[in-house]
Amino acid sequence: MLKNKSIVSIDDVSESDISEIFSVSDRMLNALEAGKKLEMLDGKIMATLFYEPSTRTRLSFESSMHRLGGSVVSVSDVKSSSVAKGETLADTIRMAESYSDVIVIRHPLEGAARLASKFSTKPVINAGDGSGQHPTQTLLDLYTMRKYFGKIDGLRIAMVGDLRYGRTVHSLLLALSNFDVEVTLISPQILKMPEHIRERLGKNIKVKSRENLDEKMDEFDVFYVTRIQKERFTDQNEYNSVIGLYSIDVSTVGKMKKNAIIMHPLPRVDEIKPEVDYLPNAAYFKQAYYGVPVRMALLSMILGA
Ligand code: NCD
């Protein structure tokens, strides 16, 4: 049951919540595609506080709230808010909770959403905390896999790129560890999946790791490609050593299984060439599209009657 609950980490969502989210998302998707007007969150207000850049997450959260008949208040640029005057996160959250029914926050510091949830009596949703987690992205990632393959169990998944700083892959790997899947972590040494995530994996998952993308590519059903998180590097030389390391073009896709899909939380920089967009394997735009029904499902389950 997600009613009135904060979603800070993917652990806040149980296996039965995930199946409920999937079925509510299916209903939301049908309503969206039928152009049906929904009013279930009429009178409810969502506050969005984004302390870091965002396109998809913020637009899809706001669009979802509007699609459910609710409304949105938002600090569009924290530099224009009282944060610029030195207001603490705690005080900003106290204000946001008194003006809204749910708070969606993105912040550059790991743990910021957890802290925000401690200062708020209203539910807080983590839309990305530094290199921590991005649980709602994970839900739409899982939903996308299920839409393409009918189920998640049995999938062989490659996670490619920046597994150290990428928050989407942290929450995704934790969530996948409750499914019967095989995950291969493909990254350079310096961008490996953190040990503190690997230590927390459930028992169903099989995990391997390697550095090279270009071998046995026909084993995978899903390639989950990520951007090198330039903004999180403290050492520019380290960043320079990994730029352009993995790049997927039409010839790379030729080495994959015919029905393999390529996912990416977006934004991409140069890790997937635009020529790939036209192939049936490119699932990343559809994945971003599913952000709306999945976030509609979440908001309706958290705030609904
Ligand atoms: C991701 C993020 O912010 O973590 N973007 C997103 O929310 N879809 C991925 C990224 O920035 O690379």
Please choose from 105, 133, 266, 284 the residue to mutate so as to test ligand 1's pocket, defined by most ligand atoms within 8 A of CB: 266
Ligand 1, residue 52: give the atom nearest the CA: 3
In a domain, 269, yes or no: yes
Tell me: do 26 and 143 sit in the same domain: no
Distance CA 15, CA 173 (A): 14
Strands 102-107 and 45-50: parallel
Distance CA 103, CA 73 (A): 10
CA atoms within 13 A on the CB side of 94: 6
Using a cut of 0.95, tell me whether the model's pTM lies above it.
yes
* CATH of residue 222: 3.40.50.1370
Give CA torsion, residues 109, 114, 118, 122, to 10 deg. 110
Do 115 and 176 belong together in one domain?
Answer: no
The answer to the question of residue 55 being in a domain is: yes
pLDDT of residue 87: 84
123 and 141 fall within a common domain: no
First to last CA, the chain: 12
- Based on the fold, state whether residues 35 and 19 are members of the same structural domain: yes
The phi, psi pair for 205, rounded to 5°, reads -80, 145
Same domain membership, residue 193 and residue 249: yes
> Do 278 and 153 lie in a common domain?
yes
Residues of the chain with pLDDT under 50: none
Among residues 114, 163, 120, 148, which one has the least CA distance to residue 10?
Answer: 114
Count other C-beta atoms under 10 Å from residue 225's C-beta: 25
- Closest by CA to 183, choosing from 202, 221, 156, 217, is 156
Q: What total of structural domains would you count in the chain? A: 2
Half-sphere exposure for 224 (CA within 13 Å, toward CB):
29
Task: Give the domain extent around 229.
Answer: 135-288
In a domain, 84, yes or no: yes
Residue closest by Cα to atom 3 of ligand 1: 128
Predicted pLDDT at 78: 76
Atom nearest to 168 CA in ligand 1: 4
Locate all alpha helices (DSSP H) within 52-149, ordered by sequence.
56-67, 89-99, 112-119, 135-149
CA of 305 to the centre of ligand 1 (A): 31
Cα of 126 from ligand 1 centre, angstroms: 12
Task: Quote the ligand 1 centre to 13 CA distance (angstroms).
Answer: 20
Could you tell me if 121 and 224 lie in one domain?
Answer: no
Pocket test for ligand 1, best of 48, 57, 289 (most atoms within 8 A of CB): 57
pLDDT on residue 86 = 79
Pairs from 232-238 (Cβ < 8 Å, separation ≥ 24): 232/130, 232/131, 232/165, 233/165, 238/190
Question: Residues enclosing ligand 1, CB less than 6 A?
Answer: 56-57, 128, 134, 137, 167-168, 227, 265-266
Which residue is it, tokens 């998952």?
Answer: 205
